[in-house]
Chain A
Amino acid sequence: MAQPPPIEEDDVLTSYFPNPPPFYKHFTPKNLDAFAQFKDQHNITDNASLTPTQLLELPTELRYLVPPAPPSPSAEYTVFGRPTKLTRLDDFPEVMGQIRQRLLRHPLAGPEVAEAIVLDWEYEQLYPSSSSSFSFADRQNYLFRFLRSIILSYIELLGIVAQEPTAAARDQKLKDILTLALNMHALVNEYRPHQARETLIGETERQVERKRKEVEGVREMSVRVREVLEGFERGGGGIREEKAAVVREVGEEERRVQRQREMWGVLDEVLGR
Chain B
Amino acid sequence: MGDILTQIQDELDMLLHQMQSSFAYIRLQAPPSVPPGQPALTAHAEFEYKAQVERNPQNPPAAPPPIASPEQYRKDIAELSRDMVVKERQIELLIANLPGLENSEEEQVQRMKELEKELEALEGERLKALEDKERLVKMVEEKIIKAGKVGSG
User: In residues 87-119 of chain B, which contact A (Cβ within 8 Å)?
Assistant: 88, 91-92, 95-96, 98-105, 108-109, 111-112, 115-116, 118-119
Contacts of B67 in A (CB 8 A): none
User: In residues 134-151 of chain A, which contact B (Cβ within 8 Å)?
Assistant: 135-137, 139-140, 143-144, 147-148, 150-151
Contacts of A211 in B (CB 8 A): 119, 122-123, 125-126
User: In residues 54-97 of chain B, which contact A (Cβ within 8 Å)?
Assistant: 84, 88, 91-92, 95-96
User: Is the Cβ of B119 less than 8 Å from the Cβ of A208?
Assistant: yes
Determine the residue in chain A with the shortest Cβ distance to B13: A181
User: Is the Cβ of A214 less than 8 Å from the Cβ of B126?
Assistant: yes
Q: Give the distance in Å from the alpha carbon of A260 to the alpha carbon of B108 in the complex.
A: 59
Contacts of A195 in B (CB 8 A): 3-5, 98-100
Candidates B9, B112, B125, B152; contact of A215 at CB < 8 Å = B125
Instruction: Bin chain B's interface residue count.
Output: 35 or more
Interface of A is mostly: helix
Q: Give the distance in Å from the alpha carbon of A212 to the alpha carbon of B102 in the complex.
A: 27
User: In residues 220-273 of chain A, which contact B (Cβ within 8 Å)?
Assistant: 221-222, 225-226, 229, 232, 236, 240, 255-256, 259-260, 262-263, 266-267, 270
User: Is the Cβ of A199 less than 8 Å from the Cβ of B1?
Assistant: yes
Contacts of A255 in B (CB 8 A): 151
Q: Kindly supply a per-residue 1/0 record for chain B positions 1-27, scoring 1 wherever the CB is within 8 Å of any chain A CB and 0 otherwise.
A: 101110011001001100100010000
B147 located at the interface, meaning its Cβ lies under 8 Å from any Cβ of chain A in the complex: yes
Q: Give the distance in Å from the alpha carbon of A256 to the alpha carbon of B16 in the complex.
A: 82
B144 located at the interface, meaning its Cβ lies under 8 Å from any Cβ of chain A in the complex: yes
- Counting chain B CB atoms within 10 Å of each CB, the highest count among A150, A226, A267 belongs to A150
Chain A nearest CB, measured from B77 CB (Å): 11
A219 located at the interface, meaning its Cβ lies under 8 Å from any Cβ of chain B in the complex: yes
Q: Give the distance in Å from the alpha carbon of A177 to the alpha carbon of B9 in the complex.
A: 15
Q: Check A191/B150 contact, CB under 8 A, given A199-B1, A215-B122.
A: no
Q: Give the distance in Å from the alpha carbon of A148 to the alpha carbon of B84 in the complex.
A: 12
User: Is the Cβ of A135 less than 8 Å from the Cβ of B100?
Assistant: no
Q: Check A215/B126 contact, CB under 8 A, given A181-B12, A201-B111, A270-B140.
A: yes
User: Is the Cβ of A215 less than 8 Å from the Cβ of B129?
Assistant: yes
Candidates A161, A177, A199; contact of B99 at CB < 8 Å = A199
B residues near A, CB below 8 A?
1, 3-5, 8-9, 12, 15-16, 19, 23, 84, 88, 91-92, 95-96, 98-105, 108-109, 111-112, 115-116, 118-119, 122-123, 125-126, 129-130, 132-133, 136, 139-140, 143-144, 147-148, 150-152
Q: Could you list 17 A-B pairs, sorted by A, with CB under 8 Å?
A: A136-B101, A140-B98, A147-B91, A181-B16, A185-B12, A194-B100, A194-B108, A197-B105, A197-B109, A202-B1, A212-B122, A218-B130, A219-B132, A221-B136, A232-B147, A240-B150, A259-B151
A residues near B, CB below 8 A?
135-137, 139-140, 143-144, 147-148, 150-151, 154, 161, 177, 181, 184-185, 188-189, 191-192, 194-195, 197-202, 204-205, 207-208, 211-212, 214-215, 218-219, 221-222, 225-226, 229, 232, 236, 240, 255-256, 259-260, 262-263, 266-267, 270
